[in-house]
Amino acid sequence: MPRRTFFNLPEDKRRLITDLAIEEFAAHTYHKASLSRIVARAGIAKGSIYQYFAGKFDLYLYILELAARIKLEAIDKAISGLGPEATLYDRLMAATEASLKLAETHPRLYAIGMNLLRETDKELVSRVMERLEPKGDNVFLDWLQSAVEKGDVDPQVSPLAASYMFSAVTMRLGQDLADGRLSLDEALPLLRQTLDILHRGLRPRDEAGFGGAGTDLTGETDETGESDETDRE
């Protein structure tokens, strides 16, 4: 939590500091990010940053909360646009696509989340998790369970494994986007194709064998898809 003085700052100065901090934490993991660099770039004194934040961790949490909020909002918005008839795959596509698009629209905030995923300091990560509400705890698993109940997904298949697979893919897509190994134009088709393979893989036996689904392999139609939780934070 920033100190009161931070919010008393003139808009410009507050923005400047915020932006530079975002840049710093997007470019470096926690321990390698440098307050000294931030203050130097902002043209303020070292002591000043301690008027605004209790310390490095406090600033980090503040920035992380900004990033988390943006991400949650984007995902919520994408999901809320779906009707109740939306399938599991519609939901997954919509949520995940919304999340991945942030890699283009808010690349620095996105990178900050990815950097948290890379963090090796477990102590730090758990301190962050304690104070960062949005758990994103497996929404996908819930969706999956209800799809099983509706008969859309083979009950023989391990929901845990399916959820694990999907979140592994979205995490990797997120990393690859953030690191520039993939563009959004490459990532979204991969996501669609992944969902198609999952769809085929999870489908109950008795509805397999028809050609229909094969056509949406190209993943054209709607991107209502979705995502799950993992790549957040």
- Does residue 8 interact with DNA by CB under 7 A? yes
Please say which residue, 8 or 218, places its beta carbon nearer to DNA.
Answer: 8
56 near DNA, rule: CB under 7 A:
yes
What would you report as the CA-atom Rg of the chain, rounded to the nearest whole angstrom? Answer: 20
Q: Which is nearer to DNA, 30 or 89 (CB)?
A: 30
Chosen residue from 27, 29, 41, 50 binding DNA by CB under 7 A? 50
Number of residues located near DNA, criterion CB under 7 A: 21
Is 195:93 a contact under the CB 8 Å cutoff?
A: yes
Closer CB to DNA, residue 50 or residue 62?
50
From the CB of 106, what's the least distance to its own copies, in Å? 18
DSSP designation for 229: S
Per partner kind, with CB cut-offs from 5 to 8 A, the member of its own copies, DNA, none near residue 163 is none
Q: What is the DSSP string of 118-176?
A: H---HHHHHHHHHH-----TTHHHHHHHHHHHHTSS-TTS-HHHHHHHHHHHHHHHHHH
DSSP line for 84-123: TT--HHHHHHHHHHHHHHHHHHSHHHHHHHHHHHH---HH
| Residue 206's binding partner out of its own copies, DNA, none, with CB under 5 to 8 Å set by partner kind | its own copies
Q: Which of 16, 19, 29, 37 binds DNA (CB under 7 A)?
A: 37
Binding region for DNA (CB under 7 A): 4-5, 8-9, 13, 33-37, 44-48, 50-52, 55-57
